[in-house]
Amino acid sequence: MPLRFYNTLTRKEEEFVPLRPGKAGVYVCGPTVYAPPHIGNLRTFFFADILHRYLEYRGMDVAFVMNLTDVDDKTIRGALQKGVPLDEYTQPFIDILFKNLDTLGLARADAYPRATEHVPGMIRLIERLFERGLAYEADGSVYFDISGFPGYGKLSRVDLSGTQRGARVADDSYEKGDVRDFALWKAAKAEDGAVGAVWQTPWGPGRPGWHIECSVMSMDELGETFDIHAGGIDLTFPHHEDEIAQSEGATGKQFARYWLHGEFLQIDGEKMAKSLGNVFTLQDLVAHGVKPSSIRYLFLTAHYRSQLNFSFEGLEAAGQAVRRIHATRKRLSEHRMQMEADPSDEPRLHHAAEEALGAFARAMDTDLNTSVALAALNEFVTRVNSRLDSLGTRPITAAEQQTALDVFDRIDTVFGFLAVADREEVVDPELALWVEERLVMRQDARRRRDFAAADVIRDELAARGVVVEDTAQGPRWTIST
Ligand SMILES: [Zn+2]
């Protein structure tokens, strides 16, 4: 059965045919690192994680890239308010992000490009747009001329009828009713200089617009044409529309071939909003005793293109479901054969295993239908339990036991909540939170070159058996036993 995705570009579910057989290039718009990610952001990254893992489950060689937006209107505003340089402001949020990704068990990407490290490429892309007559300068800033790109609007299908030729918008975010020429490059302002966010260009000093950043990071990592571009539904316009205009306008080639968008999350039936006081971070939830494995499970219960209602009751039910599946796998793995099986008996779980993996793959092949795939796993759990409850004269053979355990393991390479639950058995979430907080403080101390403070924190961690390993993406830790 072919793998199919709903492509926002065509508004159709289509067979996924990669550019190069057996390989897939995937880019997902990552976070703006001006705050810890909230649970709505994490749902988007989780959806991209399931996409990543399922392509690998299908045997594909995946290049998976998630960017970090570390220079834009929001990060500059934050750095200015705190009175620190931009990179000093964003680094703690980058550290927290990686901790969160680990806590939720999201598989590591192949690359996490940062916008500030790709500015020369952005300047080159803007030069190409000038050469093609699609960019123009106004007051030291550079804008994209949407009237020169006939494909403008093809992704979001915005209404272009009211567009005024030459009307411009400088902000990174704007509404659908405000379709205009957008900023590729913004002339330097005093506040940009104050936080060290100014680069020199042939048309004067300034900084990139948000949209050009993703065009350049994705093409630098995956080539001018690549397979899948993913992100939250709110990014369709203007962000992704503008990415297409810039990239295709400069290269004359198709940019991303499949566009996948994840829906929003609601909290207790309401939109998440600071004003409603219902914006939760992962740390908030863990402090309330919520297990990350329950969050993973709850996310799987809704299709990525449906809104998900996030509630504490839902998390409670998800936690119960995880415990049932986890306990069944344990029961099966610890089962010891009471007597030699009659080899003429059909190993009855073989059939159930085949059915479960078949139903799982059919559901996932259908635009990653995780809720139906989850139902297949739950049905399998019921069959394993009823098999273990009524062995009678037909004991489980070693092969039957192994085949059934493989179902849990294979499905969990995609779902991942059993692996997270395994870890939770060993480490209590309160302790995990305590460790994460200290690691952020330790990173902070090191950056200030306050090595005495960093050593005190290291000793505190060691006293509770925490072993820290420093990696390129920040520290990882385990509890020594
Ligand atoms: Zn982006």
Distance in Å, CA 156 to ligand 1 centroid: 15
The DSSP-derived string for 11-40 is TEEEE---SSTTEEEEEE---BTTS--BHH
Distance in Å, CA 256 to ligand 1 centroid: 12
pLDDT tens per residue across span 429-463 = 678 778 888 888 898 898 889 999 999 999 999 98
Distance in Å, CA 239 to ligand 1 centroid: 7
Cα–Cα distance, 381 to 426 (Å, whole number): 23
Distance in Å, CA 316 to ligand 1 centroid: 34
Indicate the pLDDT class of residue 393, thresholds 50, 70 and 90: low
Distance in Å, CA 213 to ligand 1 centroid: 7
The mean-pLDDT minimum among 13-17, 176-180, 394-398, 425-429 falls in 425-429
pLDDT at residue 82, rounded to an integer: 95
Distance in Å, CA 214 to ligand 1 centroid: 5
Q: Report yes or no: 86 and 70 within 8 Å, Cβ to Cβ.
A: yes
Is residue 164 classed as helix, strand or coil in its secondary structure? coil
Distance in Å, CA 229 to ligand 1 centroid: 9
Distance in Å, CA 180 to ligand 1 centroid: 19
Distance in Å, CA 294 to ligand 1 centroid: 28
Tokens of 119: 């500015």
Segment (H or E) for 188: none
Cα–Cα distance, 37 to 99 (Å, whole number): 11
Non-local (6+) Cβ contacts of 56 within 8 A are 62, 413
Share of the chain above pLDDT 70, in %: 97
> In the chain, what is the straight-line distance between the N-terminal and C-terminal CA atoms, in Å?
46
Residue type present at position 369: N
Q: Report yes or no: 119 and 199 within 8 Å, Cβ to Cβ.
A: yes
Distance in Å, CA 71 to ligand 1 centroid: 12
Mean of the pLDDT values across residues 239-251? 98
Question: Which residue, chain included where needed, has tokens 């411009």?
Answer: 168
Distance in Å, CA 164 to ligand 1 centroid: 26
Mean of the pLDDT values across residues 160-182? 87
Distance in Å, CA 210 to ligand 1 centroid: 8
Indicate the pLDDT class of residue 4, thresholds 50, 70 and 90: very high
Surrounding residues of ion ligand 1, Cβ less than 5 A? 29, 214
Distance in Å, CA 48 to ligand 1 centroid: 13
Indicate the pLDDT class of residue 131, thresholds 50, 70 and 90: very high
Q: Tally helices (H) and strands (E) across the chain.
A: 16, 16
pLDDT of 182 strictly over 90: yes
**Average pLDDT value for the chain:** 92
Cα–Cα distance, 271 to 470 (Å, whole number): 38
Please report, for the chain, the start and end positions of each structural domain, with discontinuous segments joined by +: 4-262, 322-423, 427-479
- Dihedral sign (CA 342, 344, 345, 348): positive
Distance in Å, CA 247 to ligand 1 centroid: 13
b/e for 166-184, b at 16 or more Cβ within 10 A? eebbbebeeeeebbbbbbb
pLDDT of 339 strictly over 60: no
Distance in Å, CA 184 to ligand 1 centroid: 14
Distance in Å, CA 211 to ligand 1 centroid: 6
Give the HSE-up count for residue 11: Cα atoms under 13 Å, Cβ half-sphere.
Answer: 4
b/e for 220-257, b at 16 or more Cβ within 10 A? bbbebbbbbbbbbeebbbbbbbbbbbbbbbbbeeebbb
- The hierarchical CATH code for the domain 4-262 is 3.40.50.620
Q: In terms of residues, how long is the chain? A: 481
pLDDT at residue 83, rounded to an integer: 95
Using only C-alpha atoms, what is the Rg of the chain? 25
pLDDT at residue 357, rounded to an integer: 98
Distance in Å, CA 406 to ligand 1 centroid: 37
Distance in Å, CA 82 to ligand 1 centroid: 25
Cβ neighbours around 390 below 10 Å, total: 8
Nearest CA to 89 out of 77, 101, 99 is that of 77
Supply angle C-alpha 290, 296, 301, rounded to 5: 110
The mean-pLDDT minimum among 53-67, 70-84, 150-164 falls in 150-164
Mean of the pLDDT values across residues 60-76? 97
Nearest CA to 55 out of 13, 9, 107, 105 is that of 107
pLDDT tens per residue across span 247-258 = 999 999 999 999
Distance in Å, CA 422 to ligand 1 centroid: 34
Question: Strand 23-28 and strand 61-66: pairing?
Answer: parallel
Distance in Å, CA 11 to ligand 1 centroid: 20
Distance in Å, CA 217 to ligand 1 centroid: 9
pLDDT at residue 148, rounded to an integer: 95
Distance in Å, CA 30 to ligand 1 centroid: 7
Cα–Cα distance, 435 to 423 (Å, whole number): 15
Highest mean pLDDT of the ranges 292-306, 321-335, 389-403: 292-306
Nearest CA to 297 out of 219, 377, 237, 230 is that of 377
Distance in Å, CA 389 to ligand 1 centroid: 51
Mean of the pLDDT values across residues 267-284? 86
Distance in Å, CA 392 to ligand 1 centroid: 58
Distance in Å, CA 153 to ligand 1 centroid: 17
pLDDT of 346 strictly over 70: no
Distance in Å, CA 432 to ligand 1 centroid: 31
Distance in Å, CA 145 to ligand 1 centroid: 20
User: Between these two residues, 176 and 20, which has the higher pLDDT value?
Assistant: 20
Nearest CA to 141 out of 174, 111, 105, 182 is that of 182
Indicate the pLDDT class of residue 303, thresholds 50, 70 and 90: very high
pLDDT at residue 172, rounded to an integer: 87
Distance in Å, CA 69 to ligand 1 centroid: 8
Indicate the pLDDT class of residue 102, thresholds 50, 70 and 90: very high
Mean of the pLDDT values across residues 351-366? 97
Distance in Å, CA 401 to ligand 1 centroid: 46
Helix axes 210-222, 241-251, angle to 10 degrees: 60
Tokens of 198: 């100014």
User: Between these two residues, 160 and 106, which has the higher pLDDT value?
Assistant: 106
User: Between these two residues, 45 and 175, which has the higher pLDDT value?
Assistant: 45
pLDDT at residue 291, rounded to an integer: 94
Could you give the residue ranges of the DSSP H alpha helices within 142-281? 190-194, 210-222, 241-251
